[in-house]
Structure 1
Amino acid sequence: MHYRLLLALSCLLGLLAAVPTAASEEPRDFVYTGDLAENVGLLDRRDIEGAQVIYTWRMLEPEKGVYDFSAIEADLLLAEARGKQLFAQIQDRFFLPTARNVPQYLLDDPEYDGGLARQYDNPGEGEPEGQGWTAMHWNPAVRARFQALLAALGERFDGRLFGVNLPESSFDPLAEEGDANGFTCDAYFDATLDNMRAARAAFEETHVVQYLNFWPCEWNNDHRYMERAFALAVEQGIGAGGPDIVPHKRAQMKNSYPFFNRHKADLPLVAMAIQEPTLTYTNPETGEKFTREEFVAFARDYLGVDVIFWSIEAPWLAAE
């Protein structure tokens, strides 16, 4: 009798194990903006839990070693007054040829080799490729100044901000410039990981997130850049994210997306954005732009996203 009971229990447990588990918890919705004051009405919505705001390096460090964090303080007041949270993106790269928003001393002082390197930018599906800039973190002097900024931000805002994120790992240098400014793929990768460690050291309580989407010179982890970056994030307790949730898009599926899927239970936070270019993509199965529900389902079930940063241009925000 005892044996039969054990056998029955074993079969029951086997059946329960075969039942699909419940869907993952729904991602939290934040709005993504460059000017919170102009869009603060969105924080009054009950379905919005906070905002991710972009702060350029030049804004935060108008002169060498002189920091101006008044914009973050003002946005914290707006968010806290409504019981909402603030996520700060520290922007060191820009997607217009006229946008060179790093401190002037980086552009002028020979020690920094011009401070910025030109890059290509793909602004969305069917849109023409543009040109922008990224800070030359492979130059140790540039990187030291950026890490000094992170340390100053941590001293002021650790535990007050919900999160801080570093911009995307993607960088597509102009071919004609080659390595004239000292760029190499390994140097760029090593510098990015060094900045991740510096951000983690600066912020002990506030979430730290590194946007990981692509790496220069890499496809399908053939340099093990993506693998090593996610390993560092897991080891150091750093979150991961990215600027684009595009369901099953081949380029992302050959780069960061499988690593989000693999490590979604290991990362302290996965925070990803649906920015303006993301909204341009079409679902190949329907021939229509991806819906909110399609974005969320892929983010939740495959990528393990905890927080979605929605462009203020997302149709569902305007419709309600």
Structure 2
Amino acid sequence: MRFLSASLAAGLCLSLSAIAAVAAPVNFLFASSGDLPRLHDLLARPDIAGVQVVYNWKGLEQGKGQYDFSAIETDLAYTEKLNKKLFIQIQDRFFEPTAKNVPAYLMDDPVYKGGIVPQVDNPGQGKAPAMGWVAQQWNPAVQRRYQALLKALAARFDGKVYGVNLPETAIDIDQKHDKTGFSCERYFNAEVQNMSVTRSAFKKSLVVQYVNFWPCEWDNDHRYMSRLFTFAANNRIGLGGPDVVPYRKGQMKNAYPFFHRYKGKLPVVAMAIQEPTLTYTNPETHKPFTKDEVVNFATDYLGADLLFWTPEAPWLKQP
């Protein structure tokens, strides 16, 4: 990991040790559906305000228009009993080769063109193994079904859940061999449309779009990143991301500088510290980033209001 050079924006090359501590953001846990009983003691801590739970599309829609929200109902009752808040993430992309977690009709009915496409490690080579799957949001037929799910969720849970977030923008598909009509512009427009529909449907709960990278883009060279942040700020949509790694080069050429630029201009910024994030080390100390280093960067540079912590975070294992 390297810090930005002095030729980049003023102040971005500050040493991590020089970042001033500011008011701490609110701490949430990050969990999967069904995890709450196992996390009871952590969730009950006074320094934890609630939990963000990830629900995959397949688990929420059993057949076309046949919704089963019992998992959310169960988790909402559990958090309410503890006087904690629930944030729900509606997942349409998955990171295991066998995880095709969308309703079966999307994959079976030809109108959806398979419904999902593989995410690959080396797109364009034609031989790369699938590393996961992503719903074809750029396919209007698929997108309509996802948006129908979002509207149904809002009808049941708006104002009951503390917030809802859409998953990260980064995907990695084999564009050279794609037969679904994918283009980077279509994908960008589809994600923006999903944000708009979610904001319109959820009038009381917080709405957050995770943004980290865009296919085809580096350093805002297609203006996807700048357009997204402008749209979010103008439409009362919060933003966030799945990683907080102080000054990591890739993120500093993508979403991070925009979070900094839009500090105070978004209704909420919610960032996650997930399991892979814990593997990164501070280049100054050659040790894993401490809680203070993560929190200070998330607050001072990214403007985070909420932090979603993996239960594996070392500080949560301390009494």
Same fold (TM over 0.5): yes
Q: Does 1:27 align with 2:37?
A: no
1:172 CA drift (Å) = 1.0
- Per-residue CA deviations over 1:37-56 (Å, capped at 9, x if unaligned) read 32222111111110000000
Residue matched to 1:319:
318
Residue matched to 1:60:
60
1:175 CA drift (Å) = 5.1
Distance of 1:113 and 1:107 partners within structure 2? 7
CA contact (8 A) 2:170 2:212 kept: yes
Residue matched to 2:105:
105
Question: Any runs of at least 4 consecutive aligned residues in structure 1 with deviations exceeding 3 A, and if so which?
Answer: none
RMSD over equivalenced CA pairs, Å: 1.5
Q: How does 1:109-188 map to 2 (within 5 A)?
A: 109-120=109-120, 131-174=131-174, 177=177, 179-188=178-187
| Other structure's SS at 1:37 match | coil
Which structure 2 segments of 5+ residues have no match? 1-19, 123-128
- Per-residue CA deviations over 1:271-302 (Å, capped at 9, x if unaligned) read 01000111111111111111111110100100
Q: How does 1:13-24 map to 2 (within 5 A)?
A: 24=22
CA contact (8 A) 1:37 1:75 kept: no
AA matched with 1:260: F
Residue matched to 2:75:
75
1:130 CA drift (Å) = 7.3
Distance of 1:28 and 1:228 partners within structure 2? 28
1:319 CA drift (Å) = 2.2
Distance of 1:44 and 1:148 partners within structure 2? 34
- Per-residue CA deviations over 1:202-245 (Å, capped at 9, x if unaligned) read 10010000001000000000000000000110011000000000
Q: How does 1:1-320 map to 2 (within 5 A)?
A: 24-34=22-32, 35-120=35-120, 131-174=131-174, 177=177, 179-320=178-319
| Other structure's SS at 2:96 match | coil
Identical residues among aligned pairs (%)? 58
Higher Cα Rg: structure 1 or 2?
Answer: 1
CA contact (8 A) 2:118 2:130 kept: no
CA contact (8 A) 1:120 1:172 kept: yes
- Per-residue CA deviations over 1:238-285 (Å, capped at 9, x if unaligned) read 000000001000100000001100112010000010001111111111
Residue matched to 1:126:
none
CA contact (8 A) 2:137 2:187 kept: yes
Distance of 1:24 and 1:288 partners within structure 2? 23
Distance of 1:159 and 1:289 partners within structure 2? 38
1:181 CA drift (Å) = 1.8
CA contact (8 A) 1:233 1:240 kept: yes
Distance of 1:57 and 1:161 partners within structure 2? 18
- The number of aligned residues is 292
Structure showing the higher helix proportion among its residues: 1
Distance of 1:49 and 1:130 partners within structure 2? 37
Q: TM-score, normalised by structure 2?
A: 0.89
1:176 CA drift (Å) = 5.0
CA contact (8 A) 1:121 1:132 kept: no
1:103 CA drift (Å) = 0.5
AA matched with 1:312: P
CA gap of 1:251–1:56, structure 2 versus 1, over 3 A, is same
Distance of 2:38 and 2:63 partners within structure 1? 27
Distance of 2:121 and 2:291 partners within structure 1? 25
Distance of 1:130 and 1:307 partners within structure 2? 33
